[in-house]
Amino acid sequence: MLKLRKNPLIVLGILLSATWLSGPSAAETAEKDLKIAIFAGGCFWCVESDFDTVPGVVRTTSGYTGGFTPNPTYKQVTSKNTGHYEAVRIHYDPKRISYKLLVDILWRSVDPTDDGGQFCDRGDSYKTAIFATSAEQKRIAQETKQEIEKSGVLKKPIVTAIVDAGPFFPAEDYHQNFYKKSPVRYKFYRYRCGRDARVEALWGKEAHRGITKH
């Protein structure tokens, strides 16, 4: 019986065709459909910890943005004039949570009336800010700000900057998921810094809306 030899180029072509016809995997499609929000709310350990509990948030990354120094270090950001904020990049599923709800959660987990930092952390790198990745995000952020100011729930004006997003630089590995890596140290820091107490005094029943406390 005559045996046909397999041409490796033909086999490769068949495999490539099959891959092309099958399209991207479900995981690849899901990743492509994710959206990004970037918020500064004081210590990025706390912002990351808060948003990791929000349904629809897929992952968070602590980092630096808003400044002019490329690839800054934590030491540079906290001690020198880099212009950067401590911030968190949030990948979220827009089918499960809207950008507006994410912004609403941010407002009620920080003190947006403080123009000198957040809680016990002082300095420009700890100020609050919303870094919009699109014109729609900026519009939503500004509208929610106006809604809060009209409601009168806050006794002072909101000073949180709402600006266009620029380059985002992930922080050092030891900062990522710090609340999981060093839970005792993290909880002590958060308590000593007075973050939750101040947010609850400021927002009352609306404090930490949408967030599950660790």
- Catalytic residue annotation: 43
Question: In the chain, what is the greatest distance between 2 CA atoms, to the nearest angstrom?
Answer: 91
What gap in Å lies between CA 138 and CA 149, rounded to an integer? 17
Dihedral in degrees, nearest 10, Cα atoms 213, 142, 175, 56:
50
Host H or E run for residue 117: strand 117-118
What tokens appear for 26 in the block? 């479900």
What gap in Å lies between CA 212 and CA 179, rounded to an integer? 14
Handedness of CA 127, 130, 133, 135 (dihedral sign): negative
